[in-house]
């Protein structure tokens, strides 16, 4: 298959990726050897820079930012990177270690590793080239950090299995410090199953062993992949693909695996199947030199709504309802979890944090709030989210009322909230709770093409 000539850079990249994907899909044992020269192709570097620029982010240990690159000259930098890769003189710099708070309620922090802009461009170019090869191998049970796949598709799969009665016992598990415990040697063995170009393999090894710079001190990295690197999500999926492959090949009859990065659930129909599945998961994780989070890994009894589990910001639990014919049925409700509710409140609270916002008008505040509301609605606006999202709508109105009372210097008293609600909505304020407008039967048919089980 020859790549057709085109002047469109993005189309050129897509044609190359399509060719690599189809070739890898047609022969599962083929190893690709001529990959390095494609990384420094001008169209690949151009597309890599566009994606890095779109992701924004801060600079690495050299202090160079996206704005500095724009001033320096984008094409000039890409030409220098291409020349360095051709001559074999490229060496990555250590990543800058920073910490962000976790949403676990314990005040713990998550370590991030930020590469320099130059390394990000090369990593993105490498990812563009090799990702289609591994995408041809990845299983359908994996949904995280993959093109044309997202968290909603994972939730839809859980809902589909739940309506079939295959999620009465669930293993809810999380891998402890996954990105920090990836074994480099085993990861490279998995990469070498598809890539045999020594220069590409050398690039990946250099990124894994580049080290960390924290508070001016250099630290070696004998294991793990820096969470925050461009290519780290792909490498993490390659490493856990072994888990997906073993499960789908040998243990698929026990339960359905749904994995999003290092978070996964296994949906089983019987208690004994779930207990066997948990033992199997421990054995596979031991081979990968990984451990499950003891506090988060648990066996959930979903029968008749006894228990539920949180996954990707949603609480999953069976609840009973009635059809139009007044027949009882059990359906899997997916509502925003308590942590997600608190996260949404904190997101809204940030808007009213600064005293300077008292100088703004209602219309200006609505313009600030609407992008946040739209983002939360796009993710949390699922079938059974109406009641929870209505609480967030009330919280937004309440915060707006407090803000407006302070603006008028009449204290924080909440008065005439229903009257002012109309004023805010007339100014264009969006609402979160719109899921009730969806017809339940239409949603079920769209997700699993069947209605809920009646009892």
Please say whether the beta carbons of 307 and 301 come within 8 A: yes
- Side-by-side strand order, sheet with 109-114: 109-114, 95-101, 212-214, 217-219
Q: Which residues of the chain have pLDDT under 50?
A: 1-6, 437, 439, 450-455
Distance CA 179, CA 188 (A): 15
Burial code of 300-328, b = ≥16 C-beta within 10 A, e = fewer?
bebeeeebbbbbbbbbbbbeeeeeeeeee
Q: Rounded to 10 degrees, what is the CA torsion of 412, 417, 421, 427?
A: -40
- With 0-12 CB in 10 A as exposed, 13-18 as middle and 19+ as buried, what is 296? middle
Looking at 34-111, list the stretches that DSSP marks H as alpha helix, in order from N- to C-terminal side.
36-39, 42-55, 66-72, 74-87
Q: Model-level pTM?
A: 0.89
Q: Give the tokens for residue 332.
A: 């899997």
pLDDT in tens, 345-388: 999 999 999 889 999 999 999 999 999 999 999 999 988 898 99
Look-up of token digits 């079920």:
444
- Side-by-side strand order, sheet with 453-454: 309-311, 314-322, 328-336, 453-454
Strand partners, 299: 171
Distance CA 213, CA 113 (A): 9
């Amino acid at each position: 298959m020859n790549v057709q000539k085109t002047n469109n850079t993005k189309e050129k990249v897509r044609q190359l990726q399509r060719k690599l994907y189809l070739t890898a899909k047609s022969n599962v044992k083929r190893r690709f050897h001529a990959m390095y020269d494609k990384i420094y192709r001008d169209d690949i570097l151009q597309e890599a820079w566009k994606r890095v620029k779109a992701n924004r982010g801060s600079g690495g240990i050299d202090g160079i930012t996206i704005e500095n690159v724009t001033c320096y000259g984008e094409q000039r930098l890409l030409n220098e990177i291409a020349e360095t890769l051709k001559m074999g003189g490229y060496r990555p710099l250590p990543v800058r270690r920073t910490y962000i708070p976790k949403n676990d309620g314990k005040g713990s922090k998550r370590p991030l590793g930020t590469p320099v802009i130059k390394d990000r461009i090369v990593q993105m170019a490498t990812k563009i080239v090799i990702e289609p090869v591994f995408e041809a191998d990845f299983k359908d049970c994996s949904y995280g950090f993959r093109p044309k796949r997202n968290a909603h598709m994972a939730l839809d799969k859980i809902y589909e299995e739940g309506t079939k009665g295959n999620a009465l016992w669930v293993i809810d598990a999380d891998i402890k410090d996954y990105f920090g415990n990836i074994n480099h040697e085993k990861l490279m063995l998995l990469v070498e199953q598809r890539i045999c170009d020594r220069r590409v393999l050398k690039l990946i090894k250099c990124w894994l062993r580049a080290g960390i710079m924290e508070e001016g001190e250099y630290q070696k990295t004998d294991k793990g992949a820096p969470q925050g690197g461009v290519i780290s999500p792909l490498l993490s999926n390659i490493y856990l693909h072994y888990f997906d492959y073993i499960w789908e090949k040998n243990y698929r009859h026990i339960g359905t695996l749904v994995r999003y990065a290092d978070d996964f659930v296994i949906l089983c129909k019987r208690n004994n199947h779930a207990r066997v599945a948990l033992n199997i998961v421990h054995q596979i994780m031991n081979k990968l030199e990984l451990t499950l989070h003891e506090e988060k890994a648990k066996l959930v009894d979903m029968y008749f709504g006894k228990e539920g589990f949180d996954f990707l910001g949603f609480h999953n639990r069976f609840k009973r309802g009635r059809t139009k014919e007044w027949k009882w049925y059990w359906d899997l409700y997916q509502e925003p979890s308590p942590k997600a509710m608190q996260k949404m409140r904190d997101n809204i609270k940030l808007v009213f944090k600064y005293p300077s916002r008292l100088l703004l008008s209602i219309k200006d505040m609505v313009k600030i709030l609407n992008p946040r509301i739209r983002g939360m609605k796009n993710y949390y606006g699922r079938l059974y989210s109406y009641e929870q999202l209505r609480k967030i709508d009330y919280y937004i109105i309440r915060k707006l009322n407090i803000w407006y009372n302070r603006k008028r210097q009449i204290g924080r008293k909440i008065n005439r909230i229903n009257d002012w609600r109309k004023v805010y909505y007339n100014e264009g304020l969006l609402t979160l709770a719109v899921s009730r407008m969806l017809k339940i039967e239409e949603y079920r048919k769209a997700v699993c093409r069947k209605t809920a089980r009646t009892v």
